[in-house]
Amino acid sequence: MFGIILFISGQEIIFAVLIALLLFGSKEIPKLARTFGKGMKEFRKATEDIKREFEESTPEVMEDFKEIKKNLSKDVNEIKQNLTKDANEISRNIKKDANEIKQNLNKDASEISKNLKKDANEISKNLAKDADKAKKV
């Protein structure tokens, strides 16, 4: 099974052990194995420490994210309220200005109409006078 995990066949493992035996000798192999075991133990310990630290810091990070999300939501709601308030104020000002313009236009139209009637009456009187003068001549 060990050979399957590393994708190494049994023959290759035996060959590697023989090479190690030839290179280091039978007395050095147990020392190398102990050193390798200690290295693996340290590696596992470091891996566990990293894993534990990550798991311990995850709730803190999540709490930070929740706080950031809360602050962002608060800021977004404030901006939304301010924009709505500003839009409503602008709308009221536009309606007020439109009503003032309408009143001024109605007043001006009434005054123009009054002046036109006055001018029409004056023209009518002048025409009547001119017609009377023309009859007398």
Q: Tens digit of pLDDT for each residue in 60-90?
A: 888 888 999 999 999 999 999 999 999 999 9
Average pLDDT, the chain: 86
Cα separation, 26 vs 14, in Å, equals: 15
Q: Phi-psi category of 21—alpha, beta or left, where left has phi over 0 and alpha has psi -120 to 50?
A: alpha
What are the residues whose beta carbons fall under 8 Å from the beta carbon of 10, sequence distance 6 or more? 3
Range of the domain at 76: 2-136
Structural domains in the chain (count): 1
Total-model pTM: 0.44
* Contact between 12 and 3 (Cβ < 8 Å): yes
